[in-house]
């Protein structure tokens, strides 16, 4: 029983590392941010890397999140664009693109370049209509939490069953 608890604990701790969240902070009036957003869209990196973007100049909650996340990773410059990937940060267009390209999986495109551009245009238009991109309701981390709760309940049930026998 102790081994099962240790394995589950290790899984939960290591799971947070495996599902490191990628958060991008931008400002609407930042030309570097606009250029980066275009590159991320053209390479489909928002979807491939599950990047959540927060615009910080118009939303106080996003500004607070920016300060909190920056503090967590030891980032002090306060500039955007800023990508936080787990416990690492990448500042500026070139560093962010270089990091994402280094960790990008090999993707085989089954759609034409023309179709890809059209899809990216639609996604960009929809993103602009919504304003800021909000954190999705279900993330890999929240799925991991649910899995942990299920495993915890299973352990409790097993221990009760073992006590009765």
Return the ∠ at Cα 139 (arms to 94 and 97), rounded to 5°.
10
Percent above pLDDT 70 for the chain: 61
Residue 22, SS3 per DSSP: strand
Same domain? 64 vs 106: yes
Same domain? 58 vs 124: yes
Same domain? 24 vs 40: yes
pLDDT digits (tens, 9 = 90+) for 58-114: 999 999 999 999 999 999 998 999 999 999 999 999 999 999 998 877 554 456 667
Mean pLDDT of the chain: 77
Query: Containing H/E element for 145?
Result: helix 140-164
Same domain? 96 vs 34: yes
What is the rounded CA–CA span in Å between residue 95 and residue 115? Answer: 28
pLDDT digits (tens, 9 = 90+) for 6-63: 445 544 444 434 445 899 999 999 999 999 999 999 999 999 899 999 999 999 999 9
Same domain? 73 vs 3: no
User: CB 20: neighbour CB atoms within 10 A?
Assistant: 15
Q: Structural domain of residue 77, as residue ranges? A: 20-136
Query: Containing H/E element for 39?
Result: helix 31-42
Number of domain units in the chain? 2
């Amino acid at each position: 029983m102790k081994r099962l608890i240790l394995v589950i604990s290790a899984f939960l701790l290591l799971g947070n590392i495996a599902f490191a969240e990628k958060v991008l902070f931008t400002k609407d009036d930042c030309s570097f941010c606009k250029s980066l957003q275009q590159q991320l869209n053209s390479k489909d990196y928002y979807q491939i890397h599950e990047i959540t973007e927060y615009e910080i100049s118009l939303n106080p909650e996003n500004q607070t999140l920016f300060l909190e996340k920056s503090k967590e990773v030891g980032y002090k410059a306060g500039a955007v664009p800023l990508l936080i990937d787990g416990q690492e940060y990448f500042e500026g267009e070139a560093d962010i693109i270089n990091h994402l390209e280094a960790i990008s999986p090999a993707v085989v495109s089954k759609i034409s370049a023309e179709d890809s551009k059209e899809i990216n245009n639609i996604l960009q238009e929809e993103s602009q209509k919504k304003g800021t991109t909000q954190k999705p309701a279900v993330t890999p981390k929240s799925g991991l939490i649910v899995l942990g709760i299920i495993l915890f309940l299973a352990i409790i049930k097993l221990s009760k069953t073992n006590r009765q026998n």
